[in-house]
Amino acid sequence: MKHVLVVFAFLMMSNSVFGQLFSKERLANLETFDNRLLSWGYFLGFNQYDFKFDYNNQISDRETDILVETQTGFNVGLIGDLRINQYINLRLEPGIYFTQRNLMFPGFEEERDFLREVKSTYIHVPLLLKFSTKRINNIKPFVVVGISRSLNLGSNENNPEDNSIGQFRMSQGTGYYEVGFGIDLYLFYFKFSPSIRGVFATSDELVRDDDPNSPWTSNVASMKTRGVFINFTFQ
């Protein structure tokens, strides 16, 4: 996560960006951009997905909890923006997200039993409301809230094999709610918007093993995705 934040900070402090935003002339770039009813763009970014586990046995502790090792993933997608008024926009941001999480199950000695590499490719479609402040020179902060739906192409939901054969399974479709903030930066030729957003699944995603006493899944009451997206938008 540290190197993701370094990239974010580097772009935010780029001389080419801030040279245009805070020049002595204080010229307004793209003065009529926000008057458009519809606008389009694309985004590139990073993600870090995690899991939140709840257990049937509430005595669970660090020695019995499933450990999650997160990794930084990559996202890319498109943006459709509908202007509602001066301060509110409705946005659709379909994208594809690549990520991996490693799960470590306690009580096993061999790696083939205690380690599960969960590689996921999500088709992620959020519908967001964007609330902006008044534009100040070439800067306009905003917050976003909304709901989303994703399709996990690597879920293994319909795989007849389970953890006893080394296959970890999770549901293919998941719903989320999202909240975040960012800044619109009006450059000479385009609008650049770095943002950070938290996503939280609303349903249990774990597909249980066939064995009701499975050492991998029997004590899990729910497993829900949560994550952080850092996106760089170009419009």
Burial class (CB in 10 A: 0-12, 13-18, 19+), 86: exposed
Beta carbons within 8 Å of 61's beta carbon, 6+ residues apart: none
Beta strand 139-152 with 72-83: parallel, antiparallel or unpaired? unpaired
117 or 111, higher pLDDT: 117
How crowded is residue 126: how many other Cβ atoms within 10 Å of its Cβ? 22
- Per-residue buried b or exposed e for 5-40, using 16+ beta carbons within 10 Å of the residue's own CB: eeebeeeeeeeebeebbeeeeeeebeeeebeeeebe
Give the lowest-confidence range in 54-63, 77-86, 177-186: 54-63
Burial class (CB in 10 A: 0-12, 13-18, 19+), 77: buried
Residue with tokens 């996560």: 1
DSSP symbols for 78-90: EEEEEE-SSSEEE
Share of the chain above pLDDT 70, in %: 86
Tell me the per-residue pLDDT of 184-195, one tens digit each, with 9 for 90 and over: 999 989 999 999
pLDDT attached to residue 106: 87
Report how far apart the first and last C-alpha atoms of the chain are (Å, whole number): 26
Residue 207 has pLDDT above 60, yes or no: yes
**CB 101, CB 50: distance < 8 Å:** yes
Amino acid at site 106: P
Residue with tokens 């054969």: 165
pTM, 2 dp:
0.84
Tell me the per-residue pLDDT of 164-189, one tens digit each, with 9 for 90 and over: 999 999 999 999 999 999 999 999 89
Query: What token pair was written down for 138?
Result: 């070439």
Helix (H, G, I), strand (E, B) or coil at 184: strand
For the CA atoms of 155, 208, 118, 230, the dihedral, rounded to the nearest 10 degrees, stands at 70
Rg for the chain, CA atoms, rounded: 21
Calpha distance 67→53 (Å, rounded): 9
